[in-house]
Amino acid sequence: MSLFDYDTRPATPGVVLVDTGTSPEAYRIRDFLSRNGHHFEWVDVADANRLRSVLGDTDIDLSSLPICILPDGTRLSPATLEQVAAGLGMVTGPARSAYDLTIVGAGPAGLAAAVYAASEGLHTLVLEAIAPGGQAGTTSMIENYLGFPNGISGSELATRAVAQARRFGAEILLARSLTGVSAEGPGYRAALSDGSSVVGRTMLLASGVEWRRLDVPGVDELLGAGVYYGAGPSEALGCAGSQVLIVGGGNSAGQAAVRFSRYAHRVTLLVRGANLASSMSKYLVDVISGIANIEVRTHTQVVELRAEDRLREVLVRSLTTQDTSSLRADALFICIGGEPRTDAVADAGLMIDSAGYVQTGGELGTLVELDESWNLPRPPLPLETNLPGLFAAGDVRRGSTKRCAAAVGEGSMSVALVHQRLSEIGSE
């Protein structure tokens, strides 16, 4: 037991989540609570003693799972993520009807923009669908981020950034996703998943990327039942002593391998390429090569998942010999890069490239080449999309460098451009 296990144990009751450990909705709830830093206790429905202590001598109807008991005693059954978030008071409405800047996404780019905008006196609203931090927020240890010589975890960086943004007066709405964008005056109205909407005189799209889907039969059915996208921190403890497979050869996959190696019996990294060096930072390659319980399989492709009630085996194929082999697997984490998250703005008329990334600045072409969506005598500013006053930063932007520091840089830079746009429209 760590010193922190009892010295930091919450003094007040937390959330209790009862489930079989194989339900996608329960995983969504665990992931949401974990990434938002909300402590909870997970009770396996098979643990009769613990179950009795939290629910009493009642029979459990499996269709009522997952069951979530909130700190005030409210029992949600079957619980949904939205109910849990609302029950914990995490879903609050915007304080204003209009803002100088609406930021979509609370990853590194969005939070950096929030800090700079709010610190310069702009009324700033951040909309976040899941949890602050974005893809970087689930990174176990970023060792090459400027100013942190001993490294910093993605979640800690996000926690600090959120506190900083809020200290300057930025509002951050959680568990609220963008569903649509429409022009309103010189600004934009953002439609939200709860049916409400809010107006921003300018908007920054920093929605990042979501994990690229692994196109193998059975993945969708096993999500939350041994198969996960990304390296959810909520699952680390549950991997104690187990066989963990990670698909991917990038830094996210490498970070996940390092994290799970601390808990799992064995971690196997499945990489399509010939080596890690071409896709992963050297420091991470070095770290991985020094960890005895991480095995790296290159030229390897996942072809099939085998399950009983949850994932049990993964069939892989060697891309050099075409031989297939079966690997025992308690958990499979898929970290194979991202796809830009632009669904909500698909109908807004944004110019995106064939891969779905948002085009900005000089990439949009000259004034002559821009279509009728552009009605100004000046060309788009850097980071500005083809819709005046709607900017994009971070991983969602075409041409962005997929690094946390680069996203922070773009988010910070966008605020200077937002000021230019606000001066342009004046008090319209």
Partner 1 sequence: MPTGITEQAVTEFSRLSSMERLNSVALALTRNGFQAQAVETGAEARQIVAALLPEGAEVFNNTSRTLESIGVADDIERSGHYEPLRLRLFQMDREMQAREMRVLAASPEYVVGSVHAVTEDGSLLIASASGSQLGPLVSGAAHVILVIGGQKVVTDLDAGIRRIYEYSLQLEDQRAREAYGMPSGVNNILIMNKVVVPDRVWAILVHETLGF
Q: Which parts of this chain interact with partner 1 (CB under 8 A)?
A: 1-12, 34, 37-39, 71, 89, 140-141, 150, 152-153, 155-156, 159, 163, 166-167, 233, 236, 258-259, 262-263
CB 388 to partner 1: min, Å: 36
Between 141 and 370, whose beta carbon lies closer to partner 1? 141
CB 263 to partner 1: min, Å: 7
- Tell me: cis bond preceding 24? Omega within 30 of 0 counts: no
Q: Residue 189 gets which letter from DSSP?
A: E
Residue with tokens 């943004």: 165
Quick one: the chain helix, strand, coil %, rounded to 5?
30, 25, 45
DSSP 8-63: SS-SS--EEEEE-S--HHHHHHHHHHHHTT--EEEEETT-HHHHHHHH-S-PPPGG
Between 144 and 263, whose beta carbon lies closer to partner 1? 263
C-beta of residue 331 within 8 angstroms of C-beta of residue 245 = yes
Between 167 and 213, whose beta carbon lies closer to partner 1? 167
Q: Please, what is the Cα angle at 114 between 113 and 115, to 5 degrees? A: 90
Between 291 and 319, whose beta carbon lies closer to partner 1? 291
CB 12 to partner 1: min, Å: 5
CB 166 to partner 1: min, Å: 7
C-beta of residue 248 within 8 angstroms of C-beta of residue 271 = yes
CB 92 to partner 1: min, Å: 10
If phi > 0 it is left, if psi is from -120 to 50 it is alpha, else beta; for residue 341 that is beta
CB 18 to partner 1: min, Å: 20
C-beta of residue 247 within 8 angstroms of C-beta of residue 146 = no
CB 259 to partner 1: min, Å: 6
DSSP 236-291: TGGGTT-EEEEE--SHHHHHHHHHHHTTSSEEEEE-SSS-STTTS-HHHHHHHHT-
Q: What is the CB neighbour count within 10 angstroms for residue 73?
A: 7
Between 41 and 313, whose beta carbon lies closer to partner 1? 41
CB 302 to partner 1: min, Å: 26
Between 12 and 375, whose beta carbon lies closer to partner 1? 12
Between 163 and 368, whose beta carbon lies closer to partner 1? 163
Nearest alpha carbon to residue 203 among 341, 97, 103, 349: 103
In whole angstroms, give the CA distance from residue 288 to residue 87.
41
Between 149 and 377, whose beta carbon lies closer to partner 1? 149
Q: With 0-12 CB in 10 A as exposed, 13-18 as middle and 19+ as buried, what is 263?
A: middle
